[in-house]
A and B are shown apart, each in its own frame.
Chain A
Amino acid sequence: MSSQGSLRKDGRTFNQLRGMVCDRGLLHRADGSAKWSQDGTSVLVGVYGPKNMPPKREDPEKAVLEVLWKPKSGIQGPEEREAEIILRRTLEAVVLAPLFPRAGISVVVQVIHDDGSLLSCAINAACAALVDAGIPMTGLLASVTIALAKRDDGAGGGAHLQLDPTREEQDGAQATVCLALETTPKAATSNGSVEGEAVVTSTTRGAMAIEEYLEALDRCRMASRTINAFARLSLDKAQRRLELPGT
């Protein structure tokens, strides 16, 4: 399987993520911000809040989460609206909104460049920005997209699932799955057992067999651990930088 033939156009193996870069706290006026890049795909997220909301929109039970998706150029279309809703529902699963009744949390997503797996990149960026803003959360998110290449590509035998696809791979795919998982935390429990990653969001496009979906889910699980490890590393670095004067 590891022969040259199983490599993708950009030289990656089918099960390989692109290089990730995460910058935290780079916006001055936002309460928290992060830029998350996966090679060509890059998203900048700013988080504002918890803050006062206009009385019309506030919820007496919990904080209202609003997501604004700014495309790279032009105005919002239906695709952006859909991404907004998916992202909002994903974040609502991890943000401890009941701690701030009547308040609002704004998440502004600015797409810098789209080279495939955009929604995953945005979810990862938003999670990093929320952590940077100090918004209480139940856990961290990691999101991965998988493209199911068309079978007549000649890449047979289970090698047709492409992890973290580029735009070209995504456009040529038979189907794509975008999964967001709540990652497994570090735990100091006595028995050391923590449940595995929980699926928070799953969006699919195109048609695929159930077995293929389950296979994709498995691979996303594995990849989410890599993303989680990277996110923790970047968080560690950012926190150390903040603490320098005290220590």
Chain B
Amino acid sequence: MLQSSGQGDGPSTSGSEQASSYVGQIVAPGDIVLDLTQAGKLVRIGGGLQQDGTSLVVTKAGRLRHTKPSKYWVEGSQRRYVPAVEDVVVGVVVERYAEHLVIDIGGPVTALLPALAFEGATRRNKPNLNIGDSVYARVTSTSRDTEPTLACHDASGRAAGFGPLAKGYLFQCSTGLARTLLSRPTCAVLEALGGGLSFELAVGMNGKVWVDAASAAITVLVANAIINSEFLSPTQAKIMVKSLLKQVQQP
């Protein structure tokens, strides 16, 4: 496991940069995963990592991920969401003002959704959201000292699926499960559920999941299946969904 780089003395050229030996392994806070003097010119880091002088230090437990050429981040599962730019989130309106809405996204602080951050919204014509309504939005900025801001449109101003979520049922799961639900190819539970039922689903990286279906029974079934799938393997999940579907189709 502890492999020192082969060519000990020769200064590494920018072409021969190599990935950290900890990629794919489970790391704990304090681990030094990369020596920046040995890495290439540019290293991009995501959540769970911090630069400390010339080394890259882990701050959260999880699995170290890496994509070429030099992106590093730590993937772990946690209950409390910490906002990151470009995450898709599901939130609940908690306060309403003329210029903005205050949204609870389950993070350390509430988020801000400008009233005009919807597709085609103008001062005269903006969506009417009330306290308690849920929205599907994108995180546009996160700064240490200010509240995170959201937007209900993509970078080019299109709705792209974002916006108010009418009716439906909202529940909370861990961020790890939310990431699994959002991953491609579609995860086993959703694949299996989609095969037998029709429903609408909005998953936020913050672990809030919104489901809507024709009847309350189906909504509850989908929500339960998703929550139960957290610690199941793909095969187990399929079997679980199958048995649930049987129950709903019998009466």
Q: Among residues 120 to 144 in chain A, which have CB atoms less than 8 Å away from a CB atom of chain B?
A: 131-140
Task: Find B80's partner among A49, A139, A239, A246 (CB 8 Å cutoff).
Answer: A49
The reply to whether B79 and A31 contact each other, CB–CB distance below 8 Å, is: yes
Shortest CB-to-CB span from A150 to chain B, Å, is 38
Interface size on B, residues (CB 8 A): 55
Q: Among residues 220 to 244 in chain B, which have CB atoms less than 8 Å away from a CB atom of chain A?
A: 229-234, 237
Q: Among residues 73 to 87 in chain A, which have CB atoms less than 8 Å away from a CB atom of chain B?
A: none
For the complex of A and B, list the 5 residue pairs with the smallest distance between their C-beta atoms, beginning with the closest. Answer: A139-B30, A134-B78, A50-B108, A136-B59, A185-B30
Q: How far is the CA of A20 from the CA of B251 in the complex (A)?
A: 51
Which residues on the A side are within 8 Å of B144 (C-beta)?
A: 98-101
Q: How far is the CA of A187 from the CA of B3 in the complex (A)?
A: 10
Q: How far is the CA of A246 from the CA of B63 in the complex (A)?
A: 12
Q: How far is the CA of A137 from the CA of B22 in the complex (A)?
A: 19
Shortest CB-to-CB span from B92 to chain A, Å, is 15
Q: Among residues 136 to 188 in chain B, which have CB atoms less than 8 Å away from a CB atom of chain A?
A: 144-145, 174, 176-177, 179-180, 183, 187-188
Q: Among residues 8 to 34 in chain A, which have CB atoms less than 8 Å away from a CB atom of chain B?
A: 30-32
Interface size on A, residues (CB 8 A): 48
The reply to whether B59 and A137 contact each other, CB–CB distance below 8 Å, is: yes
Which residue of chain A has its CB nearest to the CB of B175? A134
The reply on B67 being an interface residue by CB < 8 A is no
Of A163-171, A188-196, A213-221, which binds chain B?
Answer: A188-196
Task: Find B32's partner among A96, A140, A185, A241 (CB 8 Å cutoff).
Answer: A185
Task: Find B26's partner among A98, A185, A240 (CB 8 Å cutoff).
Answer: A240
Shortest CB-to-CB span from A100 to chain B, Å, is 5
Task: Find A96's partner among B55, B59, B176, B230 (CB 8 Å cutoff).
Answer: B59
Given A133-B79, A186-B31, A246 contacting B232 (CB threshold 8 A): no
Given contacts A140-B28, A246-B180, 17 further A-B contacts (CB under 8 A): A31-B80, A32-B78, A50-B108, A52-B109, A103-B109, A131-B60, A131-B61, A139-B29, A185-B32, A187-B32, A188-B32, A188-B34, A190-B38, A192-B4, A239-B77, A241-B231, A245-B187
The reply on B37 being an interface residue by CB < 8 A is yes
Q: How far is the CA of A207 from the CA of B171 in the complex (A)?
A: 56
Which residue of chain A has its CB nearest to the CB of B58? A185
The reply to whether B20 and A188 contact each other, CB–CB distance below 8 Å, is: yes
The reply to whether B33 and A188 contact each other, CB–CB distance below 8 Å, is: yes
Which residues on the B side are within 8 Å of A224 (C-beta)?
A: none
Which residue of chain A has its CB nearest to the CB of B33? A188
Shortest CB-to-CB span from B187 to chain A, Å, is 7
Which residue of chain B has its CB nearest to the CB of A63? B108
The reply on A1 being an interface residue by CB < 8 A is no
Given A190-B35, A246-B183, A137 contacting B30 (CB threshold 8 A): yes
Given A50-B108, A96-B59, A133 contacting B80 (CB threshold 8 A): yes
The reply on B62 being an interface residue by CB < 8 A is yes
Contact digits for B38-70, partner A, Cβ 8 Å, 1 yes 0 no: 100000000010100001011111110000000
Contact digits for A180-204, partner B, Cβ 8 Å, 1 yes 0 no: 0011011111101010000000000
The reply on B5 being an interface residue by CB < 8 A is yes
Contact digits for A69-112, partner B, Cβ 8 Å, 1 yes 0 no: 00000000000000000000000001010111111000000000
The reply to whether A101 and B230 contact each other, CB–CB distance below 8 Å, is: no
Contact digits for B1-30, partner A, Cβ 8 Å, 1 yes 0 no: 010110000000000000011100011111
Contact digits for A216-247, partner B, Cβ 8 Å, 1 yes 0 no: 00000000000000011001100111111110
The reply on A151 being an interface residue by CB < 8 A is no
